[in-house]
């Protein structure tokens, strides 16, 4: 009988440590780790996964990414990771592929009794922004719940975005819009500050008192900023022909 996919990799590949993610009972995990230690001296760590389903992409993705992140925290040198695709469900293998192509650079391997251990290559890369929505959905729902916002926001529909960070910024702007408070928006030139300001103004109940006016303060001489913003008396300075 074969030794199993994990034992095959341990026997054929040189690795410094083995990190296993398992949704099996602790008793089974301990038994497997004890059996595996008979054939290797490398450190073995098992992270128990409390999944509601072994095919739930969002749960698997969150758990796996957290474990990888935690295992590399504080490491000065670049770590050469190896993600094993053979154990587990197809959903688990898909998550490892996504992680290797987006957040964590890693070699992908698979093993079988017939073909042994081999590296798997994929002729494509995945931009993090295009990770399937099902993997981002829990985070988006958390934002909506924490901010107490509905999904519809027509005032902000002109702000085209896809990333989680931008979703959080839009959520924060929507939360601030109904409040009668000064709002400071900071950012590099061309990042959409005025677009956010217009959206906040449109969503604010205070916008009935006047139109949104954009002023490029950088183009106004320092000595005239107050006059341009707050007005002036006629004749207060050269060129002040009207109040």
pLDDT digits (tens, 9 = 90+) for 39-56: 888 999 999 998 888 888
Helical H runs in the chain? 5-12, 26-37, 57-71, 90-101, 133-147, 164-176, 193-203, 225-230
Q: Where are the domains of the chain?
A: 5-130, 135-207, 213-243
Measured torsion, CA atoms of residues 187, 126, 101, 57, in degrees rounded to the nearest 10:
100
The closest of 54, 91, 50, 86 to 67, measured between CA atoms, is 50
Report helix, strand or coil for 74: coil
CATH architecture of structural domain 5-130: 3-Layer(aba) Sandwich (3.40)
Instruction: Render pLDDT for 125-168 as a digit per residue (tens, 0 to 9).
Output: 655 555 555 455 544 544 454 455 555 568 888 888 877 778 88
| Paired strand residues for 46 | 20
pTM > 0.75: yes or no: no
* Alpha carbons 204 and 180: distance in angstroms, whole number: 8
């Amino acid at each position: 009988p074969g030794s199993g996919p994990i034992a095959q990799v341990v026997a054929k590949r040189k690795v410094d440590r083995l990190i296993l993610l398992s949704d099996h009972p602790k008793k089974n995990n301990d038994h497997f780790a004890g059996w595996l230690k008979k054939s290797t001296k490398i450190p073995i760590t098992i992270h128990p996964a409390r999944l509601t389903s072994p095919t739930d992409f969002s749960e698997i993705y969150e758990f796996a990414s957290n474990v990888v992140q935690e295992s590399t925290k504080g490491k000065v040198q670049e770590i050469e990771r190896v993600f094993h695709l053979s154990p587990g469900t197809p959903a688990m293998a898909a998550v490892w592929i996504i992680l290797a192509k987006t957040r964590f650079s890693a070699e992908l391997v698979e093993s079988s009794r017939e073909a042994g251990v081999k590296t798997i290559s994929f002729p494509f890369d995945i931009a993090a922004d295009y990770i399937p929505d099902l993997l981002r959905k829990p985070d988006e729902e958390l934002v909506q719940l924490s901010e107490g916002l509905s999904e519809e926001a027509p005032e902000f529909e002109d702000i085209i975005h896809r990333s989680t960070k931008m979703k959080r910024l839009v959520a924060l702007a929507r939360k601030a819009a109904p409040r009668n408070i000064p709002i400071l928006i900071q950012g590099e030139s061309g990042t959409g500050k005025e677009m956010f300001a217009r959206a906040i103004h449109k969503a604010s109940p205070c916008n009935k008192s006047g139109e949104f006016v954009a002023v490029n303060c950088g183009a106004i001489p320092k000595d005239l900023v107050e006059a341009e913003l707050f007005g002036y008396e006629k004749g207060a300075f050269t060129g002040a022909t009207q109040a």
